[in-house]
């Protein structure tokens, strides 16, 4: 069984659906409101666990009802929460999501996720050392991403960096990561002034640009490859990227070839968008395999 360590955010998603999103200074009437577990780190941990991996989450929650719900949700999905410790002085992270016009807009309040610090990660250093792969995103402090990348390089543990939400990252982090998976917008910010084709060439078999419903593009050392995704009727695209990253990590940790890993991840991500909520549609291993 693949052993996956996820270091990242755990939040509660507060989701409003509306026929259209309001402009600045405008009020519109919404259709529904739901509270569901989210946060990029937690989403990736849950997705990997549903796909059959042994998952260790390193994260933080507040000492509040959202924190309790987040922990219960991890446990219901079989994610190890030994390193998800409550923070007393901050609330749990929240993501404020508007689902309108076929897409989402999100404001994230990091709160307790800000306490996923380098020192906190060091308390769980053995989990990183013993993992088959580490998955990290950017809803936690930048210095933690830098620190984890150095630890992974030191231990020889492969690191999959999902650079979302977008921010600049240092060359050191790029060098330490084994796999980097920006979407098109994040790639523009990471590699400013360099065309996507050039950046892919610069990082063969390492940089994977996700292009939504088109698929995933990378350079295999000889040519650019686009692995197309599966066309489905999307209900809610929130968490599709998280499902892709988790499934990609699981497949790589199991030793699947690169293209097969991307296909597996594309299939998992396409299934995830067919239900409401970031984690609502995340498939089980059997569901992905049956549909491949
Ligand atoms: O990637 C989707 C996630 O981003 C949501 O669950 C929300 O928590 C935001 O952080």
Whether residue 211 is contained in a domain is answered as: yes
**pLDDT given for residue 218 in this prediction:** 98
Evaluate: CB of 132 within 6 angstroms of ligand 1.
Answer: no
- Residue 103, annotated ligand binder? no
Ligand 1 centroid from CA 40, angstroms: 5
Evaluate: CB of 242 within 6 angstroms of ligand 1.
Answer: yes
Token pair, residue 17, equals 């659906």
Backbone φ and ψ for 261, nearest 5 degrees, come out as: -65, -40
**pLDDT given for residue 67 in this prediction:** 98
Token pair, residue 198, equals 């050039």
Evaluate: CB of 38 within 6 angstroms of ligand 1.
Answer: yes
The reply to whether 103 belongs to the active site is no
Whether residue 291 is contained in a domain is answered as: no
- Residue 85, annotated ligand binder? no
- Residue 266, annotated ligand binder? yes
Domain span at residue 249 reads 3-19+30-285
The answer to whether the Cα torsion of 27, 30, 33, 38 is positive or negative is negative
Whose alpha carbon is nearest atom 10 of ligand 1? Answer: 39
Whether residue 79 is contained in a domain is answered as: yes
Backbone φ and ψ for 177, nearest 5 degrees, come out as: -75, 150
Evaluate: CB of 47 within 6 angstroms of ligand 1.
Answer: no
Ligand 1 centroid from CA 221, angstroms: 33
Of ligand 1's listed atoms, the one at least distance from the Cα of 39 is 8
Token pair, residue 219, equals 């350079």
Whether residue 133 is contained in a domain is answered as: yes
**pLDDT given for residue 191 in this prediction:** 95
**pLDDT given for residue 29 in this prediction:** 98
**pLDDT given for residue 72 in this prediction:** 98
Cα–Cα distance for residue pair 240/229, rounded to 1 Å: 12
Whether residue 292 is contained in a domain is answered as: no
Whose alpha carbon is nearest atom 9 of ligand 1? Answer: 39
Whose alpha carbon is nearest atom 8 of ligand 1? Answer: 39
Q: What is the widest separation between alpha-carbon atoms in the chain?
A: 53
Backbone φ and ψ for 226, nearest 5 degrees, come out as: -110, 115
Cα–Cα distance for residue pair 126/105, rounded to 1 Å: 37
The answer to whether the predicted template modeling score (pTM) of the entire model surpasses 0.85 is yes
- CATH code of the domain containing 152: 3.40.1190.20
Token pair, residue 103, equals 């897409």
**Along the 292 residues of the chain, how does pLDDT read in single tens digits?**
999 999 999 999 999 999 999 999 999 999 999 999 999 999 999 999 999 999 999 999 999 999 999 999 999 999 999 999 999 999 999 999 999 998 999 999 999 999 999 999 999 999 999 999 999 999 999 999 999 999 999 999 999 999 999 999 999 999 999 999 999 999 999 999 999 999 999 999 999 999 998 999 999 999 999 999 999 999 999 999 999 999 999 999 999 999 999 999 999 999 999 999 999 999 999 999 999 8
Whether residue 290 is contained in a domain is answered as: no
- Residue 35, annotated ligand binder? no
| Overall number of domains in the chain | 1
Whether residue 24 is contained in a domain is answered as: no
Ligand 1 centroid from CA 96, angstroms: 9
Whether residue 81 is contained in a domain is answered as: yes
């Amino acid at each position: 069984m693949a052993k996956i360590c996820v270091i990242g955010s755990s939040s509660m998603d507060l989701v409003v659906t509306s026929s259209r999103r309001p402009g600045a200074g405008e009020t519109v009437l919404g259709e529904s409101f739901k509270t569901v577990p989210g946060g990029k780190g937690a989403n990736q941990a849950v997705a990997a666990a549903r796909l059959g991996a042994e998952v260790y989450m390193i994260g933080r929650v507040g000492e509040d009802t959202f924190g309790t719900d987040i922990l219960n949700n991890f446990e219901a999905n079989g994610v190890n929460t030994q390193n998800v410790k409550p923070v007393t002085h901050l609330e749990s992270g929240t993501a404020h999501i508007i689902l309108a016009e076929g897409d989402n807009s999100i404001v994230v309040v990091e709160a307790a996720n800000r306490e996923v610090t380098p020192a906190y990660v060091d308390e769980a250093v053995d989990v990183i050392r013993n993992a088959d792969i580490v998955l990290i995103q950017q809803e936690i402090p930048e210095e933690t991403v830098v620190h984890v990348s150095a630890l992974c390089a030191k231990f020889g543990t492969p690191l999959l960096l999902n650079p979302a939400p977008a921010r600049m990252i240092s060359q050191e982090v790029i060098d330490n990561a084994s796999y980097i998976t920006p979407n098109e917008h994040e790639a523009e910010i990471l590699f400013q002034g360099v065309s996507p084709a050039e950046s892919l060439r610069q990082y063969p078999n390492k940089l994977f640009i996700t292009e939504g419903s088109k698929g995933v593009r990378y350079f295999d050392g000889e040519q650019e490859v686009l692995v197309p995704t599966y066309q489905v009727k999307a209900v809610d695209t929130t968490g599709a990227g998280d499902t892709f990253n988790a499934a990609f990590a699981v497949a790589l940790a199991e030793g699947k070839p690169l293209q097969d890993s991307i296909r597996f991840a594309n299939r998992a991500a396409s299934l995830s968008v067919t239900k409401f909520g970031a984690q609502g549609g995340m498939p089980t291993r059997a569901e992905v395999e049956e549909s491949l």
